[in-house]
Chain A
Amino acid sequence: MGKKRLRKIRNRNNDTKKKVQVSPQEIVPKDIRRTKQDNVFLEFYDKNYKMLLIIPFVILILALGQIAFQTITTGEFISRGVSLTGGITVTIPTDKTFDTANLKTQLLNQMPGRDIEIRVLKSAGTQTAVIIESDISDIENTNEFVDLVEKETGISQDDYNLDVMGSSLGESFFKEIMFALVIAFIFMGVVVFLYFRTLVPSAAVILAAFSDMVVTVAVVNIMEIKLSTAGIAAFLMLIGYSIDTDILLSTRLLKRKDGTVFERVIQSAKTGLTMNFSTMSAIIVILIFSNSEVLTQIMTILLIGLTIDIINTWIQNVGILRLYLERKKSE
C-alpha cells in the first residue's frame, strides 16, 4: 500500500505514459502512477536486497585481485604517468596530423634507450593536441630533448607547453598525496562516525567510499590510464562526491520515521540518482569538449567513480543498512 506512493524514475516515464492515460487510475495524481514493469523491478530490488549484496562485494574482490595482480607484475598498484615518476611532457596544440610513429622513431634514434611515448588529444572528435612524453627527468638533459622535438616538429618555443618533473620530486609527490589521501579518508571517517554515532552505518558509509576508490583504481588500471598529478586530485574529489549520496541515504534511513524502510530507500534513490545524473552529465560534457589533458583525466576518473558509486550506494550501502535495521528491529 505504501508502495502506491512510489514514483518511478522520471526519465523512463515517456514510453509508459499512454498506458496510464487510458487506465481508470486517471484520477490518481501523476506522481503516484506506476507500471507493471516498474513494479517487477522494484519488487525484485526490495525482496532480494540480501542477494544483491553479492554484486558489489564480488566487484570489490575482483578489483582487489586486479590491484594485487598489477602490484605483483609491475611493482606498483597503479601505473603512474611521467608527472608522478619524473619525466618530461611536451604538449603541442595543433590540429595538424603528425606521423606519430615516424616521429617516435626519429626521436628514439637520436635518444636511444629512452622511453618515449606520443599520444593525440581529442576534443569533440577532432585532434587538439599532440603530447610527447619521455622519462628524461634530469633537468639538465631536458634542453636537449626539447631542442630535438622543436627540430623534428618544426615548432617554436611559444607554441607548446612544457612540464618537467624531477624524478625524486615525482616520487615524493606521489607518496605525500597518497599519505594525504589516507589522512583525508580517516578524517572523513571520523566526521561520519561523529555524525551518526553508530558503528555499523558509519562503517557502511566508509566501506562504500573505500569500495568506490578501490574499484576505480582497478578500472583505471584496466583502461591503462597513466595517473598524473591531476588524476590524484580526482580521487580526492571522488571522496567528496561518493560520500554525498551515502550520507543522504543513511540520514533518511536512520533518522526518519515516515513510511517503510523501503519507501525511504526509494525516496533517497530518487534524490541521489538525480544528483549523480546531473553531475555525470556535466562531466560527460566537459570530457567531450575540453581541450585540456588535465581536465580530461580528472573527468574520466570521476565518471568511473560515480558510475561505481551508484552500485556501492544503492546496492551495497542499502543492503547493509537494511540488514542492520532488520536486526535492530528483531532485537
Chain B
Amino acid sequence: MNKFKKIFTNFRMIILMILLVLMVISIHPDPYNDGVAIRTVLKNSSAAISQINTPLPTDKPMLREVIFEIDGKSVQSVEDYNQLTANLEVGDIVNIRTRSSYKYTGNERQFSFKKQINKYSLTVRPEYKYTVLNETEEVIVPKIISVNKTINGTNVTINETINETVLRNKIKSEIIGTQDLGLKVYPAPKTNIKKGLDLQGGTRVLLEPEEKVSDEDLEIIMDNLKRRLNIYGLSDILVRKQKDLSGNLFLLIEVAGANEDEVKNLIAGQGKFEAKIGNDTVFRGGDDIKFVCRSADCSYAVDPRRPCSKGSDGQWHCSFQFSITLSPTAAQNQADLTKELKLVTENGQEYLKKSLDLYLDDELVDTLRIGADLKGRPITDIAISGGGSGETQQDAITDSANGMKKLQTVLITGSLPVKLNVVKIDTVSPTLGEEFVKNIIFVGLLALFVVSIVVVVRYRDVKIAIPMLITMGSEILLLLGFASLIGWNLDLAAIAGILIAVGTGVDDQIVIVDEIKERKSSSLLNWKQRIKRAFFIIMAAYFTTVVAMLPLWSAGAGLVRGFAITTIVGVSFGVFVTRPAFAAIMEILIKE
C-alpha cells in the first residue's frame, strides 16, 4: 500500500497522470454518441432553409451536430438515415431532432457544456426544371447605383436605389421530382480523433502547377480551389501547399467522404464563371479571359482619376479600377451584344442601359456598369471598376482594396494563372476504411499482448511487465490525445509513426529495467546513477531517431510528413514524460 502511495505521489507520475487526463479530455470519448453527424448542409436546400448549419471545417469531430431521430424514429446509422429520407414527396414535412453543443445566436455560436436537443422541420421541396422560352417579358428589378452629386460644392458619391425595367426571356418551370433535403451525413464520431482518409474513406489529390508559380499565385490558386470546393458544399476539405526538397510546389487536396470522380470533376472543371448582359453570356471564365491585371501599374485600389471623397451620409467612398484582357472572340461577343443597347447618362458619365453581371457558378457576385465608349466595339482590354466605403478614408480604401481583390479572384477562378496537373490520386472507400480501423485496433492490441508475454517470459516478474504495459498504453493515449488536440488527421503514415514510437518505447524500458536490475548485486552505483546511465543510452537513441526523421519533413512533396511528425512527437513524449515515470515506478517497486 505504501508503495502505491509512493507511486502516485511521485512528481514524474503526477506529470504523466495530469497529461493523461488532459489527453482523455481532448479525445473526449463518448461511446453513446449514436446517430449520424452532419458533414455538410447544401446551399438553398430544405435543410439550409430550416436553419440547420454547416459545421465549420475547424470544428473538432465531437462538436459536430448529430441527427438521432427522424419523424420519431431513431437514427443509428447512415443506412437508417437513407431509409428514413427515401420516398419523400413534395410538401412532406420531415421532423429532425439533433444533438449539439452549441447554438447560433445570429452569427455567434454559444457553446454549452451539456448537449442540447434541437428540432427542425424540413419541408420537402420540388425539383424544378427550367426552360428558357423565346417569348420575352418586362420585369422591374430594384438596383443600387452609385451617383456622383455635388452637395454644398463638394463632389460626392452616394448610393441610390432605382427601379429598372429589364427585358428578359420568359422562363417555364416544371416540377420533375423532389429535391434532396440537402444534408450530407456520416456515422457520428465517438471520439475527437480525426480519422484520415485511409481510415474513413475519401479522396486525396496531389496537384502540380504546370509551370513555376510564385507563392502569391499559389495562394490565389488555393483561394480559388477552396472557394470552388465550398460552393459545391464540401466542408471536410483540406487544401495545403507543399514544397519538396528541390523546391517544387504542390497542392494537396483531401476531401473526406467523396469519391474520385466527384473530386476530379471539381478540380478539373474550370469553375463556371460567366459575365452576362441580361440573359446573354458575354464571356466565360477560362479561355475568354486572357489576363487579369493585379500589378500596381494597371490595378488601383483607389482610382487616381477619381479620388476618395466623403459623402453626405458621412461615409467615405473610394473607387478601384483594374484592367482585364479578353480574347478576341469574347470581345466580338461583347460588341455584338452592346450594339443595340441604349445609353443612359448618370452624373455626366454615359453608361449603357444594361449592366454587366458577373456570376460564379450561377451565383451573382457583382454588377458592373458598362461605359458608353464600349458600345458595339470589340475591345479586348477593358477596365473594370467598383467601389468601397467606410467610416474613415482609410476604411474606405481598405474596403475598396478588398472588393478589388475579391473581384480579381472571381475573374481568375475561371482562368487559373497556370494549369494544374493531377499527379497523384488516392481513393479509399468508406467501408474499407472502417474495416481497416477495426483490424488495426485488433492487431495493435494483439501486438501489445505479445510484447508483454515476451517481457513476462524474460523477467518472470509482473512488477516489471505491468508497468511496461501501462507505459505503452499511456504513450498511445498521449499520442492520440495530442493528435486530436491539434486536429491532425490520423492516417496510415501516422499509425506507422505510432508503431515506431511505441516500439522504441519498449526498447528503452528494457534498457531501464536491465540497468536497474542486472547491476543490483555488483555495482556500487546508487539508483540515481543507474537511471542516469540508462538515460544516457536512451537519449542517444532518441536524438538519432529525431534527426533521422527531420529530412522527411519536406521530402517527396510532404507525403511522408505525417509519419515524421508522429514519430518525433511520439518519441519525445516517451523520453520526456513516460520513461521518467516508468523509471520512477521501477525505482519504487524494485528497490528493496
Query: Chain A residues in contact with chain B, CB under 8 A?
Result: 5, 10-11, 91, 93, 123, 139, 142, 157-166, 168-169, 172-174, 176-177, 179-181, 183-185, 187-188, 190-192, 195, 229-230, 232-233, 236-237, 239-241, 243-244, 247-248, 251, 255-256, 258-259, 267, 270-271, 274-275, 277-279, 281-282, 284-286, 289-292, 294-295, 298
Chain A contacts for B428, CB-based, 8 A: 161
Complexed CA–CA distance, A279 and B432 (Å): 28
What 1/0 flags go to B552-574 for Cβ under 8 Å of A? 10011101100100010000000
**Residue B238 CB within 8 A of the other chain:** no
Complexed CA–CA distance, A195 and B426 (Å): 42
> Are the C-beta atoms of A247 and B455 separated by less than 8 Å?
no
Find A139's partner among B422, B431, B519 (CB 8 Å cutoff). B422
In chain B, positions 505-540 with a C-beta closer than 8 Å to chain A are: 506-507, 510-511, 514, 518-519, 522-523, 533, 536-537, 540
> Are the C-beta atoms of A274 and B454 separated by less than 8 Å?
yes
What is the distance, in angstroms, from B455's C-beta to the closest C-beta of chain A?
6
Chain B contacts for A184, CB-based, 8 A: 547-552
Complexed CA–CA distance, A270 and B514 (Å): 9
What 1/0 flags go to B277-291 for Cβ under 8 Å of A? 000000000000000
Which partner residue on chain B sits nearest A277 by CB separation? B454
Complexed CA–CA distance, A270 and B518 (Å): 10
Chain B contacts for A139, CB-based, 8 A: 421-423, 425
Complexed CA–CA distance, A236 and B555 (Å): 13
> Are the C-beta atoms of B422 and A166 separated by less than 8 Å?
yes
> Are the C-beta atoms of B496 and A295 separated by less than 8 Å?
yes
> Are the C-beta atoms of A298 and B496 separated by less than 8 Å?
yes
**Residue B261 CB within 8 A of the other chain:** yes
Which partner residue on chain A sits nearest B507 by CB separation? A275
Complexed CA–CA distance, A120 and B218 (Å): 42
**Residue B503 CB within 8 A of the other chain:** yes
Chain A contacts for B450, CB-based, 8 A: 281-282, 284-285
> Are the C-beta atoms of A166 and B457 separated by less than 8 Å?
no
Chain A contacts for B549, CB-based, 8 A: 184, 236
> Are the C-beta atoms of A247 and B556 separated by less than 8 Å?
no
Chain B contacts for A188, CB-based, 8 A: 544, 547-548
The secondary structure that dominates the A interface is: helix
**Residue B442 CB within 8 A of the other chain:** yes
15 new A-B contacts, CB < 8 A, other than A157-B260, A184-B550, A292-B439, are A93-B432, A142-B425, A158-B430, A164-B425, A169-B206, A169-B424, A188-B547, A191-B543, A241-B507, A248-B537, A267-B518, A278-B451, A278-B455, A290-B439, A295-B492
What is the distance, in angstroms, from A140's C-beta to the closest C-beta of chain B?
9
Complexed CA–CA distance, A285 and B443 (Å): 7
In chain B, positions 48-92 with a C-beta closer than 8 Å to chain A are: none
**Residue B447 CB within 8 A of the other chain:** yes
What is the distance, in angstroms, from A303's C-beta to the closest C-beta of chain B?
12
Chain A contacts for B172, CB-based, 8 A: none
**Residue B458 CB within 8 A of the other chain:** yes
What is the distance, in angstroms, from A206's C-beta to the closest C-beta of chain B?
10
Complexed CA–CA distance, A239 and B550 (Å): 13
What 1/0 flags go to B255-297 for Cβ under 8 Å of A? 0000111000000000000000000000000000000000000
> Are the C-beta atoms of A187 and B541 separated by less than 8 Å?
no
Which of B147-155, B174-182, B243-251, B339-347 lines the interface with chain A?
Answer: B243-251
What is the distance, in angstroms, from A156's C-beta to the closest C-beta of chain B?
9
Complexed CA–CA distance, A290 and B440 (Å): 7
> Are the C-beta atoms of A237 and B496 separated by less than 8 Å?
yes
> Are the C-beta atoms of B443 and A290 separated by less than 8 Å?
yes
Find A172's partner among B431, B499, B511, B556 (CB 8 Å cutoff). B556
Find A166's partner among B423, B511, B537 (CB 8 Å cutoff). B423
In chain B, positions 427-444 with a C-beta closer than 8 Å to chain A are: 427-432, 435-436, 439-440, 442-443
Find B510's partner among A161, A267, A271 (CB 8 Å cutoff). A271
Find B506's partner among A163, A191, A275 (CB 8 Å cutoff). A275
What is the distance, in angstroms, from A216's C-beta to the closest C-beta of chain B?
15
Find B544's partner among A181, A232, A240, A256 (CB 8 Å cutoff). A240
Complexed CA–CA distance, A192 and B540 (Å): 7
Complexed CA–CA distance, A268 and B440 (Å): 33
Complexed CA–CA distance, A114 and B109 (Å): 56
> Are the C-beta atoms of B454 and A278 separated by less than 8 Å?
yes
Complexed CA–CA distance, A275 and B556 (Å): 32
> Are the C-beta atoms of A233 and B496 separated by less than 8 Å?
yes
> Are the C-beta atoms of B446 and A289 separated by less than 8 Å?
yes
> Are the C-beta atoms of B555 and A180 separated by less than 8 Å?
yes
Chain B contacts for A277, CB-based, 8 A: 454, 458
Query: Chain B residues in contact with chain A, CB under 8 A?
Result: 206, 208, 244-246, 248, 259-261, 421-432, 435-436, 439-440, 442-443, 446-448, 450-451, 453-455, 457-458, 460, 492-493, 495-496, 499-500, 503-504, 506-507, 510-511, 514, 518-519, 522-523, 533, 536-537, 540-541, 543-545, 547-552, 555-557, 559-560, 563, 567
> Are the C-beta atoms of A247 and B245 separated by less than 8 Å?
no
Known pairs A176-B245, A243-B544, A279-B503; A158 contacts B454 (CB<8 A): no
Q: Which A-B residue pairs are the 4 nearest by beta carbons?
A: A166-B423, A180-B555, A187-B547, A180-B551
Scoring A157, A180, A247, A281 by chain B CB atoms within 10 A of each residue's CB, the highest score goes to: A180
Complexed CA–CA distance, A258 and B500 (Å): 33
> Are the C-beta atoms of B507 and A162 separated by less than 8 Å?
no
Complexed CA–CA distance, A277 and B537 (Å): 19
Chain A contacts for B430, CB-based, 8 A: 158
Chain B contacts for A229, CB-based, 8 A: 556, 559-560
What is the distance, in angstroms, from A191's C-beta to the closest C-beta of chain B?
5
What is the distance, in angstroms, from B395's C-beta to the closest C-beta of chain A?
46
Find B423's partner among A169, A248, A251, A298 (CB 8 Å cutoff). A169
Complexed CA–CA distance, A275 and B500 (Å): 13
Which partner residue on chain B sits nearest A93 by CB separation? B432
What is the distance, in angstroms, from B142's C-beta to the closest C-beta of chain A?
47
Known pairs A233-B493, A274-B454; A163 contacts B425 (CB<8 A): yes
> Are the C-beta atoms of A248 and B421 separated by less than 8 Å?
no
Find A241's partner among B427, B448, B503 (CB 8 Å cutoff). B503
List 17 interface pairs A-B (beta carbons < 8 Å), by A numbering.
A160-B429, A162-B426, A166-B422, A169-B206, A172-B556, A188-B547, A191-B543, A191-B544, A229-B559, A229-B560, A233-B560, A236-B548, A240-B544, A258-B523, A271-B514, A275-B510, A291-B439
> Are the C-beta atoms of B246 and A176 separated by less than 8 Å?
yes
Which partner residue on chain A sits nearest B502 by CB separation? A282
Chain B contacts for A162, CB-based, 8 A: 260, 425-427
> Are the C-beta atoms of B550 and A187 separated by less than 8 Å?
yes
> Are the C-beta atoms of B507 and A279 separated by less than 8 Å?
yes
> Are the C-beta atoms of A159 and B429 separated by less than 8 Å?
yes
Find A233's partner among B422, B439, B563 (CB 8 Å cutoff). B563
> Are the C-beta atoms of A5 and B522 separated by less than 8 Å?
yes
> Are the C-beta atoms of A158 and B259 separated by less than 8 Å?
yes
Which partner residue on chain A sits nearest B449 by CB separation? A285
Known pairs A177-B555, A188-B547, A275-B507; A240 contacts B541 (CB<8 A): yes
> Are the C-beta atoms of B540 and A164 separated by less than 8 Å?
no
Complexed CA–CA distance, A192 and B542 (Å): 11
Complexed CA–CA distance, A58 and B342 (Å): 93
> Are the C-beta atoms of A169 and B557 separated by less than 8 Å?
yes
> Are the C-beta atoms of A292 and B245 separated by less than 8 Å?
no
> Are the C-beta atoms of A258 and B503 separated by less than 8 Å?
no
Complexed CA–CA distance, A236 and B564 (Å): 10
Complexed CA–CA distance, A192 and B548 (Å): 12
> Are the C-beta atoms of A179 and B503 separated by less than 8 Å?
no
> Are the C-beta atoms of B548 and A172 separated by less than 8 Å?
no
Chain B contacts for A169, CB-based, 8 A: 206, 208, 423-424, 557
